[in-house]
Structure 1
């Protein structure tokens, strides 16, 4: 992954945390027009602005640093290169270059007052976003001052309530279900100190995201995202959890980055036998398919299918005690399909009959098949 792509991914996380494009630009040193275009392509409601970007000043700062070290004043360099003295002073401090204090102007006195107020609000328990809104202090100055206190404003802004230990041990059917669902549909990222779980579903399944929110006890927002799939566009809903411990627990339990290429069925050290059916139901709800019941079809037949790696599907078939069919190849993934009313319905019955958590629309399909097959069986007794 190249440096620009890394910055864009980090910038996306900062944007979700509430940072403005200008603040992200200053922190990551990336042109906000480039970032805006990237976010727009990812489906966010962003309009890329025209005109020069403030990013240009960083190149000027770098040119001015050697001249400052040679003895030129900040005032001279600000006039020569057309940047603010305060911004360049902060840049020097961030580079570890000592800047001699000068008599503050009225403007810097006002900034000092706001910084003091910001620190007081932080000590009172206010969030970074609340402080920025109340104090109206430039984000770069706030980040710089808080950095001296050992506070990372990016991480602070991402904080919200979440049970970060929920996946530490898989010891309930509900935990097993959601682990299976995340094996199928969750996206885990960890790089450059960025730990994120993202879960995106169709807009019609937003209720399922609400169930997940309650399960992990979080107040993180559910956002809209425009998704492109097979040449079509549709609006999706997603939730992103930025929490190192939360993500590390998922990775420890086998829910890893790039899992479409390396996913393995969890062993007993991760998933106790009594919760395997819950796990598989979660996986089916996330990345499986059940044929819809059609009353207009003569002698309708059930089928159920799972998509995953060859290794994962082989272990799944072993657990379900069914002989695997030949896997269908779907790009980098494989698909295992079970047909025939007895085999397919027996699988669904084991998964859904006593399940306590499920994707509503798939449970409804199971209920229709269950009713139909029960009625048909009673007719032939």
Structure 2
């Protein structure tokens, strides 16, 4: 239990770390999740995320901040360089009368307006691994953090969105890199499609591309060695997330002939999982001839598909 009166789920804690890494204030994060600023600070401390310094810039550093911003650097880049928060940089620029760039160059604000396979994939990925943040007086932000080994997937997302936003260097504390964009239209679209609510848009629930995005964001595929004396390895599929999303996933699988799965509570989140034949059928359904996928999961899925074909 947090000192804010409610228990945060593991997925919410991951979102909090991602939002904090982009410079969002602890107070704003706490308000969104219904806990105190101190509870948010405690989450960051337990996950090895150090507090950012604020108010420590010298006059020369403040002048350099202005120079860097006018030269094209983003708020997040400057904040990381000087060891302060992005809101602190924004405040300094505002006090100096400098207009803040409000949108990313080239960003496709209509990127989520259709339901082609690649769009459905990225919507699903952000449903699982993205964080949508709203703060009074600021443009809403969509942020996502991935492990350093998956950095190229953030490059692919940035390319899809058509923008030039930077991807942060890998954090030495929690080993992830961050990417974010600001857009009223994109943020509102993710929310209205069911990211946080109790109903996922029907145009998404029938898309294997959407579900592959969800699995790439918060799922796992694996091939594991069984204990001796067995010589045959074990294949496994698992995905975690919010209950209303996973219930739609189970219904999707049933319509595709993969039955017998259920949504189960796992600590403070929910999960769907299976092994052997059903796991291999799910891998084939989601990943065979995929238009977009996380490289390391696609590689495991290909091996699972080969096993399934060999057993047929």
Q: TM-score range by the shorter chain?
A: 0.5 to 0.7
Alignment correspondent of 1:291: 222
- Are positions 1:282 and 2:213 aligned together? yes
**Pairs within 5 Å for 1:163-242:** 163-167=108-112, 169-194=113-138, 195-224=140-169, 226=171, 233-242=173-182
**CA RMSD across the alignment:** 3.9
Contact 1:265–1:316 under 8 Å retained in 2: no
Using the alignment, how far apart are the partners of 2:223 and 2:162 within structure 1? 33
Q: Greater relative contact order: 1 or 2 (C-alpha under 8 angstroms, separation 6 or more)?
A: 2
Number of aligned residue pairs: give it.
249
3-state SS of the aligned residue for 1:298? coil
3-state SS of the aligned residue for 1:292? strand
3-state SS of the aligned residue for 2:127? helix
3-state SS of the aligned residue for 1:224? coil
Contact 1:128–1:153 under 8 Å retained in 2: no
Using the alignment, how far apart are the partners of 1:188 and 1:285 within structure 2? 18
C-alpha displacement of 1:237: 1.0
**Pairs within 5 Å for 1:327-346:** 327-341=263-277, 343-346=278-281
Aligned to 2:23, which of 1, 4, 12?
A: 12
Alignment correspondent of 2:184: 244
| 1:241–1:323 CA distance, 2 compared to 1 (3 A) | same
More helix per residue: 1
TM-score, length basis structure 1: 0.55
Aligned to 1:153, which of 95, 99, 102?
A: 99
- Are positions 1:267 and 2:202 aligned together? yes
C-alpha displacement of 1:235: 1.1
Using the alignment, how far apart are the partners of 1:356 and 1:337 within structure 2? 24
Using the alignment, how far apart are the partners of 1:294 and 1:173 within structure 2? 34
Q: Tell me, which stretches of 5 or more residues in structure 1 are unaligned?
A: 2-7, 15-33, 55-117, 119-125, 133-137, 147-151, 228-232
3-state SS of the aligned residue for 1:329? strand
Contact 1:128–1:157 under 8 Å retained in 2: no
3-state SS of the aligned residue for 2:171? strand
Alignment correspondent of 2:193: 253
Using the alignment, how far apart are the partners of 1:249 and 1:13 within structure 2? 21
TM-score, length basis structure 2: 0.66
Q: Tell me, which stretches of 5 or more residues in structure 2 are unaligned?
A: 5-18, 26-40, 59-65, 74-88
Using the alignment, how far apart are the partners of 1:364 and 1:178 within structure 2? 19
- Are positions 1:304 and 2:237 aligned together? yes
